[in-house]
A and B are shown apart, each in its own frame.
Chain A
Amino acid sequence: MSNFFEIKNTTFRISDSDKVRNVSFSIEQEGDIVCLLGPSGIGKTTILRSIAGLEKISEGQITLKGKTLSSKDTHIDPEHRKIALSFQENSLFPHYTVEKNINLSARDNDRGNININEIIKILNLENILNHYPHQISAGEAQRASLARSLNSNPDLLLLDEPLSNVDQSFKEEIQVKLKQILKKLKITTIIVTHDSYEAFYLGDKCGVILDKELKQFDDPYNVYHFPNSEKVVKFLNRGVLIPAKVTSPKSLENDDLGVITGNFVNPVPIGTNVKLLLQPEDLQHDDKSNLKFDVIDKKFRGTSFIYTLKTNTNNLLPVFVHSHHVHQHDINDKFGIRKPIHIEHIVCF
């Protein structure tokens, strides 16, 4: 069976000089959610606009339900695609109330399972239904626009930074509800965001766009634990890369930390010099250990502290410590690390 939605070797044009090249990914099943992650200005919005048909593509192919929407020679107008796009900026019709805006779809609700009142309730829009777009806040406009998109019953829903203007306190609640709605209605969705936690939470699959290409497209777990390139590591801010030498099929050695054991995600020949991904949770605190480094920074993160240690070779290492841990360390203190060091999945480049 063919994929529900597919992008094949497509080049997206951001501007005359800027393009995102050779993007391929697919959504196998109807109802799946894909999140595209990447720093701002990288062309994520352009990709959404191209999928929606607001921009043309010059190379590649975009298909939905087996029908080609865009290719070098084909371009189906946006109004004939059944794809909804919720813009980042306010795109409500300024002369209609929020309620009228939400109900303005020109398409039939043939799925028949969309209960707009429920959506309105979930998105907390009841109190502003009679307001005009200029009378509501940016976050409210985003939610109203989301409701409008949902109500148009699209085959594919595209959300461009859907919650960027929603208050932080309200954001997680909405994320949960959003996921519930999308799953309940089985609406296939592509969400663009720069917030990796949002992407990992919402997405069945995550794509990371960096340097004008799709670097990685995988399950959130895999993207998180097995980033496939240094760039992805840096973008996700997952940890640090330290120099190491592969000493056996199950171990490496680092000048500061000594031997590290674990399972290589990808086999590396013995004797290769690599950069090892070291994540904060990989190291354990142990006051009794004689492997000690200076603390140079300490961040309180609620449930945990993240200590930054400086090694003898001037590498900086992050270490997680649960915040209930009795023994706290201050800057310039010595900080012990438990030996031997074992990392479940060894990611190195």
Chain B
Amino acid sequence: MRINTWFISSFLISIVVVIPILTVFSSFFEDTSNYFEILRETFFLEYIFNSLFLLFGVLILTFFLGVGSAYIVSFYEFPGANFFKWALILSFAVPPYIYAYSLFAFFENYGTAFTILKFLFGDGNYNQHIPKFSGMLGLILSVSFSLYAYVYILARSSFLYQSQNLIELGKNLGFSKFKCFYSIILPAARPAIIAGLSLVAMETLAEFGAVDFFSVNTLTTGIYNAWIAFDDLAFANRISFFLLLFIFILFLTENLSRKKAKYHLDSKGGFKKKEKNKLGGSKAFFAFSFCFALFFLSFLFPLSQMLYWTIKFPENLFDLNIIDLLINTLYLVSLSSLVLIIFALISNYGNRVSKKKILNVMSTLSISGYAIPGVILAIAFITFVAWFDENIIKALGFLSIKKVFIGSVLGLVIVYFIRFYSLAFNGIKSGYEKMNISVDESAYLLGYSKTKTFLNIHVPYLRNSLLFVIILVSLEIVRELPITLILRPFNFETFATTAYISASEDLLEAAAVPSLCLIIIASFFILLTSKYILREGNE
């Protein structure tokens, strides 16, 4: 009977996560009002076009940046190679919206670039000669520099695990270096690269802060606008439907590629520490320059811009109650990771012990929460709670529950939960997958009950995975913007919301301090995880 308890709890967890997704779909077939019908059609095309343009721009750029840097770092030895190996993932600490603030502020008329030129060369009308990175171009750059590390990490680990034989085979066949890369290394790493690009694609389509800052209308902001400005839930859902369809395809691609990538990783015995090619002279200089430029542009540049502003407008530093923001941020982070970890563990274990198909389907569905933009989730959550409250709670004669869920930490944690559940679930799952099911059975046969197996065998085994998941989730929550923005309680700000609100009120320089704090905290989390992300052995 205990199996049923596990089954039911994992089933319930999946249900909670699936609800908002169903909410979005449920109203898809509602009629949209005729009001603005034609107008919306034109918007709709624009949304799609912009989303696609952004998506492809970002994919191309992240592909070159991510694969290029991963290749150089994994196959060659040059001054700084060991530093860049982990320094390149620091870009994760800069969310696209903060990158966008930096990019815009640096290049705007009378911006930081102007100041630098004036400082160097004296007065002059430099504005016309400074390139302007706003709109779509700025957006593509911001998102790419912030997200390329997904591709970098996955491509790098695939490169590292590539069997030496393969490359030696290429050399045997007399391939040139380029040919070796192009026809052996790259195809072998393809599943990993596609998995990385799919993640980038999902994040890009879900991006809110930067898109909003550059006021480019994508499907995601389109949904937000339709919901908010036109009050047209049905139309918003219709766009959501298309977006989700789009994302679902990416999601499947990612899942499939990941499976292949894993197959690739697991092939035992293929791993042999590769001798890296030592580069010298101009080649070493080129490799160094490429990595340094990438590190500079993706991390140092936004960091310095924020630092520069903090120093230039120090009054913002004192106006901000950093301690409060820090406490709020850490409070959210610890509460959410705790909830996520516990439920993801239970659900994973439920999946493991009960072989029911429905559970598998449910958990596949429920991890799609990550693919759904935070904006949509937050709004769907409010809509659902309002509907539930009006139609069920009040109908039963109870007091309204809206306040319990909307504008409370509870609501916030629930939606974070939905959004990041897949992160936690998959993180634990990948740990679990390495453990044969016969391990569990052995434990039972040795006299361990299911609960005892879970607590005494699984949890200790998953310790590292759990730690990794906690830090990953923390990193996401520190950077998270739209959900926090929409659902947070009174007098409750985080670094992300403070930065966003200052920026949206044309107070970019006031956004610098919270942005800087955010980057520092996120960097700290990244450094903590880098050991896991970049591990090289066959652990």
A: residues with CB less than 8 A from B are: 49, 52-54, 77-85, 87, 89-95, 104-107, 134, 145, 148-149, 152, 154
- Binding site secondary structure of chain A: loop
Q: At the interface, yes or no: B441 with Cβ under 8 Å from chain A? A: yes
- Asked if residues A84 and B446 are in contact (CB atoms below 8 Å), the reply is yes
Q: At the interface, yes or no: B439 with Cβ under 8 Å from chain A? A: yes
Find chain A residues with CB under 8 A from B461 CB. Answer: 93-95
CA distance A54 to B447 in the complex (A): 13
- Asked if residues A93 and B449 are in contact (CB atoms below 8 Å), the reply is no
Contact partner, B445, options A84, A89, A90, A92, Cβ 8 Å: A84
- Asked if residues B439 and A93 are in contact (CB atoms below 8 Å), the reply is yes
Find chain B residues with CB under 8 A from A49 CB. Answer: 441
12 contacts between A and B (CB under 8 A): A52-B441, A54-B441, A54-B445, A79-B448, A85-B441, A89-B436, A91-B438, A95-B461, A105-B446, A106-B448, A106-B452, A107-B447
CA distance A344 to B441 in the complex (A): 48
**In the complex, number of A-B residue pairs with CB atoms less than 8 Å apart:** 73
- Asked if residues B438 and A79 are in contact (CB atoms below 8 Å), the reply is no
B198 to chain A, nearest CB (A): 29
CA distance A49 to B445 in the complex (A): 10
Contact partner, B447, options A94, A134, A152, Cβ 8 Å: A152
CA distance A83 to B449 in the complex (A): 14
The chain A residue with its CB closest to the CB of B452 is A106
Q: At the interface, yes or no: B320 with Cβ under 8 Å from chain A? A: no
Find chain B residues with CB under 8 A from A84 CB. Answer: 445-446
Find chain A residues with CB under 8 A from B538 CB. Answer: 134
- Asked if residues B444 and A77 are in contact (CB atoms below 8 Å), the reply is yes
B423 to chain A, nearest CB (A): 23
- Asked if residues A94 and B445 are in contact (CB atoms below 8 Å), the reply is no
Q: At the interface, yes or no: B357 with Cβ under 8 Å from chain A? A: no
CA distance A224 to B457 in the complex (A): 44
Q: At the interface, yes or no: B434 with Cβ under 8 Å from chain A? A: yes
Knowing A94-B461, A106-B452, A134-B538 touch, does A78 contact B444 (C-beta < 8 A)? yes
- Asked if residues A85 and B436 are in contact (CB atoms below 8 Å), the reply is no
B63 to chain A, nearest CB (A): 34
Contact partner, B446, options A54, A89, A95, A107, Cβ 8 Å: A107
CA distance A89 to B438 in the complex (A): 8
Closest 10 CB pairs of A and B: A106-B447, A91-B438, A78-B444, A107-B447, A95-B461, A87-B438, A91-B442, A79-B444, A105-B446, A106-B448
Find chain B residues with CB under 8 A from A54 CB. Answer: 441, 444-445
Find chain B residues with CB under 8 A from A94 CB. Answer: 434-435, 439, 461
Contact partner, B460, options A95, A134, A149, Cβ 8 Å: A95
- Asked if residues B442 and A85 are in contact (CB atoms below 8 Å), the reply is yes
CA distance A73 to B147 in the complex (A): 57
- Asked if residues B447 and A79 are in contact (CB atoms below 8 Å), the reply is yes
- Asked if residues B445 and A85 are in contact (CB atoms below 8 Å), the reply is yes
- Asked if residues B445 and A152 are in contact (CB atoms below 8 Å), the reply is yes
Residue in B435, B438, B448 with the greatest tally of chain A CB atoms within 10 Å: B438
The chain B residue with its CB closest to the CB of A85 is B445
CA distance A91 to B450 in the complex (A): 16
CA distance A80 to B452 in the complex (A): 13
CA distance A343 to B442 in the complex (A): 49
A234 to chain B, nearest CB (A): 32
Knowing A89-B438, A91-B439 touch, does A83 contact B460 (C-beta < 8 A)? no
The chain B residue with its CB closest to the CB of A145 is B442
Find chain A residues with CB under 8 A from B441 CB. Answer: 49, 52, 54, 78, 85, 87, 91
Residue in B441, B443, B446, B452 with the greatest tally of chain A CB atoms within 10 Å: B446
Find chain B residues with CB under 8 A from A81 CB. Answer: 445
